[in-house]
Amino acid sequence: MFAMHLIFIPLQEHALQELRRVLPEPGVVSTDPDELWGYAQSVYTQLPGRPHSIVVHARSTDDVVKVVNISRRFLVPIVPCSGGTSLEGNLSAPESPSICIDLSGMDCILEINEADADVVLQPGVTWTRLNEILKEKNIPLFFPLDPAPSAAIGGMIATGCSGTNAVRYGTARAEWILNVTVVLPSGEVIKTRQRARKSSAGFDLTKLFIGSEGTLGIITEATIRLAPLLPTRVAVVQFPDVRQATEAVCDFMTQIDRGVRVHATECAELLDSVLMKGLNMASPDEGWSEKDTLFLKFQGSPSAIHETSEVVKTVCGKHGGTGYRLAHGETEAEKLWDLRRHAFLHAAALRPGARGWAMDVCVPVSKLPDLIYAAKEDITALNMIAPIGGHIGDGNFHALVLYQGAEEMNLVEEITSRIVHKAIALGGTCTGEHGVGTRKRHFLPIELGQGTVNVMTSIKRTIDPHNLFNPGKLYPDGHA
C-alpha cells in the first residue's frame, strides 16, 4: 500500500516539483518514507494509518498559502497537522495521493496581553508550553483547556476540545477563542474578528472553524483568552459502585449551582473500580482500594475551597462515599492528580499485549448515572475488559476497551455502537471532546438530524468546492 502512495500520477508529480520550487529550503518538503509514516496517524489512536504522499513543514501563513494554492491547482488533497494527538482518525490520508501540512513548526507566541488576559499565538504552540511560559514570566494567568499534554492550539481549536477543567471553564466552543486567522481553500487569508472581548458585528465565523477539523480552513494564528491562576486543592473519595459515584456528582453540582455554597469545583473526575485495579497492578505500592473513585479539584480562595469541599464531602457521604481526603499541600495534591492524569496508561496492565479503543460520549449530567451503568452492563455481557473514566462533572466519560484480534475488534465496534446510540437517546452526543474524524461520521445524521447535516454539507461545498481540505473526515459519506 505504501509503495502505491509513492507512484504519483503526473499531476501529483508536478505538484511535488512546484512545492520544491516555491519552498526550496532543505527539509521543508519531504517524501522520505519514514517521515511519511510518522504522519500517517496519531500515536494516541489504534486506527490503521495511511501515509500521505508529501509532508510540508510550514513556518508561516505565507507558506501555508503557497501549499494551498498548489493543492488547488493540481487538485491534491491537503491535511493539516499541529500536535498530532488526534484520536478519531483526523490525520489519516485519503485514498488518493495527498499533502500533509505540518504546522508544529509554527510555534511562536506573538503577543501576551496581560492587561487584557489574552494571547496571540501560532497553531503549533502546545497548551502546556504556553502555561509554562506564563509561569516563567510570573504572569498570574493560564489557559484552562487541558487535553493531552502535547496537544497544540491549532488542533485543539479544530477539534473543539476540552479536558478535565471543563466543569469550571467549559470547552473550546465557549468564549476562549477570540479569533482565528485562517487560510481558505481558495488561498485567501481571513481573520474572523478583532481582539475585543465581545462583538455583535456580523456572523460569528470564529465558531464556524472551531470543531471543523481542518475541513473548511487551516488555522495559522489565534487569539485566545486566559484565566486568573487561582489556588487549587485536590480531594479523593471512593464509592461502592459507579451509580452512587455519578449520582453524588450530579447531586453536589446541583446544590452548588443553586448557591448552597461558593462554587469552587474545577474538576470532577471518575476512575471506576476496573481502572483503579489497573492502577494498583501498574503501581503495586499505591495500595488503593479497588472501588469507583472520584478525583476532585477545587479552585479559588481558601474560604471558597473549604466551603465547597464541605458540601461535597457531605453529599458524597449521603451517596455511600467513604474515605474523603482533601490533600494538604502542593506535593500531595500533585501526587494524587498524577494518578488521574496517567490513569489510562496504567490500564494497559489489565491486559498485557492488548490494544485500547477509546470511546468519548457525553450526556446531560443528570443522565450520566444511567448511561455509565448501562455501559458497564454491555461491557460485562460481551465479556470484555473496559475501564471507565472521565470528566463526569460535565457528563463526559471514556471507556477504554481492551481487545486483541479481529474477532474482538468486532465486539469493540458493537460496544461502541450500543453506548453511542444510548447516549444520543438520552439527549447526548457521540463525541464530547475528541471530534468526529473518520470513526463517527455515520452517527451525525442520528444525532443532529439530516437537515442539520445538509446545512453543514452546504457550507463545506461552498467554501471547499473541490473537497480538498481533509476529505473523508467529519461529514458522512456522500455529504462532501
Alpha carbon 35 to chain centroid, angstroms: 24
- Residue range 91-119, pLDDT digits in tens: 999 989 999 999 999 999 999 999 999 99
- Determine which helix (DSSP H) or strand (DSSP E) holds 169, and give its type and residue range: helix 166-169
Confidence (pLDDT) at 9: 56
Q: Specify the pLDDT at position 44.
A: 72
Distance CA 377, CA 41 (A): 32
* 355 sits in which H/E element: strand 355-358
For residue 257, the model assigns a pLDDT of: 61
On the question of pLDDT at 76 being above 70, the answer is yes
Q: Tell me the angle at which helices 10-22 and 61-74 cross, rounded to the nearest 10 degrees.
A: 160
Identify the pLDDT of residue 286: 78
Counting Cβ atoms within 10 Å, is residue 194 exposed (0-12), middle (13-18) or buried (19+)? exposed
- Write down the pTM of the prediction: 0.94
Cell 511519511, located at residue: 36
Q: Evaluate if residue 2 carries a pLDDT over 50.
A: no
Task: Tell me what pLDDT residue 27 has.
Answer: 95
Residue 391 three-state SS: strand
Q: 475 versus 346: which is more confidently predicted?
A: 475
Helix (H, G, I), strand (E, B) or coil at 353: coil
Percent of the chain with pLDDT over 90: 84
Q: How confident is the model at residue 408 (pLDDT cuts 50, 70, 90)?
A: very high
What length does the chain have?
480
Q: How high does pLDDT run on average in the chain?
A: 93
Which pLDDT value is given to residue 163?
A: 94
H helix and E strand count, the chain: 17, 19
Name the DSSP letter for residue 295.
E
Under DSSP, the state recorded for 207 is: H
* pLDDT, tens digit, 9 for 90 and up, residues 220-277: 999 999 999 999 999 999 999 999 999 999 999 887 666 555 478 999 999 999 999 9
pLDDT at 248: 95
Give the residue-averaged pLDDT of 22-39: 95
Q: What is the pLDDT of residues 123-150, one digit of tens each?
A: 999 999 999 999 999 999 999 999 989 9
Helix H or strand E encompassing 349: none
Domains in the chain, please, with CATH? 2-102 (3.30.43.10), 109-228 (3.30.465.10), 231-343 (3.30.70.3450), 351-445 (3.30.70.2740)
The greatest distance separating any two alpha carbons of the chain, rounded to the nearest whole angstrom, comes to 70
Separation of alpha carbons 110 and 140, rounded Å:
18
Q: What is the DSSP string of 143-167?
A: ----SSTT-BHHHHHHHT---TTHH
Q: What is the model's pLDDT at position 202?
A: 95
Between 123-137, 207-221, 316-330, 344-358, the lowest mean confidence (pLDDT) is in 344-358
Q: Which of 85-99, 274-288, 418-432 has the highest mean pLDDT?
A: 418-432
The number of beta carbons lying within 10 Å of the beta carbon of residue 438 is 17
Alpha carbon separation from 9 to 14, 75, 98, 471, 472 (Å, rounded): 9, 12, 12, 19, 21
Residue 41: predicted pLDDT: 83
Q: Helix, strand, coil: what percent of the chain each, to 5?
A: 40, 20, 40
Please state the separation of Cα 226 from the chain's center in Å: 19
pLDDT value of position 166:
94
